């Protein structure tokens, strides 16, 4: 990670969470950033650096990945969300702006549904949470989508993605597989009516893994939500266009915080 990020750990009893933080305590609600499947925090450095110029950013490594240990059983998005609720309580963070990409978005929705009093706002980008189909179907979509977005890719985040995937594949194999099946199979939609915070839904128009129809369904079922579809980008666009991603988030949460 960027040397200005501080790496820390917190022991929650049944697991230990590694996290990174950056940014000054400004009196504004801090940001909790939730990464997606297989990766850690490093591929998102571009957008996190921008966000941390205005907000205190806290980016945990999800349990069972990287050097974060997992509780004995994680079977659903809500299991991850409960760990993050304990994490926020351990850090004495009473209210945060939650941002999640891909599977991190579904975990963010679960957190907002389970503990609405803790969530000042919710931003999800190209989120899972609606079953994706069979494993062969998912692999086929990825096989099409990854080459299609090659022209948008940037060396640094791609290198971090591969490094993170390699590390987790060798050191957290079963947890990586379990998280993958949660993303493919589990359905977050029954929890959506329980989300009370303002919600920004950001989506790549060309996303094949989690198509825009998912975004539309989330928009229709989360009460106070707004949807922005970004043209010509795919599932991983938040890694390759950090300025665009961060600026849309800042515009959203600045209004909530009444920042001029």
Measured between alpha carbons, how far is 189 from 196 in angstroms, rounded to an integer? 14
Res 199 pLDDT > 80? yes
pLDDT at 2: 53
Res 147 pLDDT > 90? no
Measured between alpha carbons, how far is 79 from 221 in angstroms, rounded to an integer? 22
SS3 call for 7: strand
pLDDT at 1: 59
15-49: pLDDT as tens digits? 999 999 999 777 899 999 999 999 999 999 999 99
> By mean pLDDT, which of 62-76, 103-117, 121-135 is the weakest?
62-76
Closest C-alpha among 220, 226, 224, 216 to residue 248 = 226
Q: Give the domains, in start order, of the chain with CATH numbers.
A: 6-257 (3.40.50.1820)
pLDDT at 48: 97
Closest C-alpha among 150, 128, 134 to residue 209 = 128
Global model pTM greater than 0.75: yes
Confidence of residue 155 (pLDDT cuts 50, 70, 90): confident
58-93: pLDDT as tens digits? 999 999 999 999 887 899 999 999 999 999 999 999
> By mean pLDDT, which of 49-63, 137-151, 201-215 is the weakest?
137-151
pLDDT at 65: 95
If you average pLDDT over residues 114-123, what whole number do you get?
A: 98
Looking at the chain, the whole-number percentage of residues with pLDDT higher than 70 is 98
Residue of 32 and 14 predicted with greater confidence:
32
207-245: pLDDT as tens digits? 999 999 999 999 999 999 999 999 999 999 999 999 999
pLDDT at 3: 54
Residue of 148 and 43 predicted with greater confidence:
43
Closest C-alpha among 102, 76, 94, 91 to residue 12 = 91
Res 151 pLDDT > 90? no
pLDDT at 153: 85
Strands (E), 1-156: 6-11, 16-22, 31-34, 57-60, 96-101, 119-125
**H/E segment holding residue 237:** helix 237-240
Looking at the DSSP bridge assignments, the partners of residue 20 are 7, 59
Measured between alpha carbons, how far is 124 from 59 in angstroms, rounded to an integer? 15
**H/E segment holding residue 230:** strand 225-230
Confidence of residue 6 (pLDDT cuts 50, 70, 90): very high
């Amino acid at each position: 990670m960027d040397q200005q990020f501080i790496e820390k750990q917190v022991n929650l009893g049944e697991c230990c969470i590694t996290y990174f933080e950056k940014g000054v305590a400004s009196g504004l609600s801090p940001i909790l950033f939730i990464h997606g499947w297989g990766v850690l925090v490093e591929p998102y450095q571009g957008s996190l650096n921008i966000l941390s110029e205005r907000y205190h950013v806290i980016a945990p490594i999800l349990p069972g990945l990287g050097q974060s240990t997992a509780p004995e059983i994680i079977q659903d998005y809500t299991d991850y969300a409960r760990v993050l609720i304990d994490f926020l309580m351990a850090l004495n963070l009473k209210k945060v702006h939650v941002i999640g990409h891909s599977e991190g978005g579904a975990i963010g929705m679960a957190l907002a549904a389970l503990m609405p009093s803790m969530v000042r706002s919710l931003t999800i980008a190209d989120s899972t949470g609606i079953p994706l189909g069979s494993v062969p179907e998912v692999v086929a979509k990825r096989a099409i989508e990854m080459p299609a977005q090659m022209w948008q890719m940037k060396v640094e985040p791609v290198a971090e993605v591969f490094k993170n995937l390699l590390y987790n594949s060798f050191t957290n194999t079963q947890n990586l597989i379990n998280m993958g099946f949660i993303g493919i199979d589990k359905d977050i939609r029954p929890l959506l009516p329980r989300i009370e915070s303002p919600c920004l839904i950001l989506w790549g128009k060309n996303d094949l893994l989690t198509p825009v129809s998912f975004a539309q369904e989330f928009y229709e079922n989360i009460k106070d939500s707004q949807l922005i579809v970004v043209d010509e980008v795919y599932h991983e666009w938040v890694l390759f266009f950090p300025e665009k991603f961060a600026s849309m988030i800042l515009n959203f949460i600045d209004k909530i915080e009444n920042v001029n």
